[in-house]
């Protein structure tokens, strides 16, 4: 059965818009867990634009499932990861100007640095996942890094412009997933998955976990907006001075 990790970064984005404690990430995590979410994913970015250091510790110490921490190879974030010791760290590339994680890890250009981070995290008992483009030419490098998991970057699939492009990327994902599984590494996938494109990914042999954030958090607004509006309207109706 495919597990679902829910990325709650964008709940933090909303929370930070008012500099408040509301909406609470811990309350969100509890709702997710009570409704089938298998674990909680957060990305502690170098610029702390959504998840903050205190969120990492609070969630890590209090969720009922576990935290999958996405992070770049950055010393300051590594320090926080080693102090919090989440169950799993997913190493991702990070550029300051990007809106969201663009592309998978550059294994060729940053091999030694990535290896050092993996070694340090593993020494601390943390499971390692690597966020990688579905490119079979990377298999040997992945093998020598020996991560516990590989998360296939599905952004290219999600953003594909036509059926031809989409089918080509799907077949790359299938081939890549097969090879990763053959190495005894757990296959995960994520990025850009939504209510229209997730089914094709679920049919791929080998995929054991998905990480989905934006589409779930965005849809929550719409499925909750009617209830939220009528609750406020009833409160106003029931409290207003009767004339």
Rounded Cα gap, residues 22 and 14, in angstroms: 8
Q: How far is the CB of 51 from ligand PXP (least distance, A)?
A: 10
6 contacts ligand PXP (rule: CB under 6 A): no
| 186 in contact with ligand PXP (CB under 6 A) | no
| In the chain, alpha helices (H) | 9-17, 25-34, 53-62, 75-84, 111-123, 139-145, 155-158, 163-182, 198-202, 214-239
In terms of CB distance, is 84 or 189 closer to ligand PXP? 189
Task: Pick the binder of ligand PXP from 100, 124, 167, 229 (CB under 6 A).
Answer: 100
Residue 71 CB, shortest distance to ligand PXP, in Å, is: 10
215-234 binders of ligand PXP (CB under 6 A) = 215
Q: Which of 133, 153, 191, 209 is catalytic?
A: 191
Torsion angle in degrees (nearest 10) through CA of 66, 192, 172, 201: 70
102 is catalytic: no
Q: Residue 70 catalytic?
A: yes
43 is catalytic: yes
Could you give the 3-state DSSP secondary structure of residue 211?
A: strand
User: Tokens representing 187?
Assistant: 């296959």
Q: Is residue 72 within the footprint of ligand PXP (CB under 6 A)?
A: no
Q: Which residues are catalytic?
A: 43, 70, 191
């Amino acid at each position: 059965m495919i597990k679902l990790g829910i990325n709650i970064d964008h709940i933090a984005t909303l929370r930070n818009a008012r500099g408040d404690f509301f909406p609470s990430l811990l309350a969100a995590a509890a709702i997710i867990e009570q409704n089938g979410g298998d674990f909680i994913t957060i990305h502690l970015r170098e610029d702390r634009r959504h998840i903050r250091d205190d969120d990492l510790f609070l969630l890590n110490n209090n969720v009922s499932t576990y935290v999958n921490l996405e992070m770049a190879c950055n010393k300051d974030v590594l320090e926080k990861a080693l102090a919090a010791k989440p169950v799993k760290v997913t190493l991702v590339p990070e550029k300051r100007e990007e809106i969201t994680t663009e592309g998978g890890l550059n294994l060729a250009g940053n091999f030694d640095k990535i290896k050092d981070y993996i070694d340090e995290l593993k020494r601390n008992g943390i499971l390692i996942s690597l966020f990688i483009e579905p490119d079979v030419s990377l298999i040997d490098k992945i093998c020598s890094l020996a991560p516990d998991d590989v998360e296939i970057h599905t952004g290219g699939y999600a953003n594909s412009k036509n059926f031809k492009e989409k089918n080509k990327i799907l077949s790359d994902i299938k081939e890549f997933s097969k090879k990763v599984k053959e190495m005894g590494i757990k296959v995960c996938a994520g990025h850009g998955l939504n209510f229209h494109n997730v089914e094709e990914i679920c049919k791929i042999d080998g995929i054991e976990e998905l990480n989905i954030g934006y589409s779930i958090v965005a849809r929550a607004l719409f499925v909750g907006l009617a209830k939220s509006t009528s609750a406020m309207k009833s409160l106003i109706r029931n409290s207003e001075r009767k004339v």
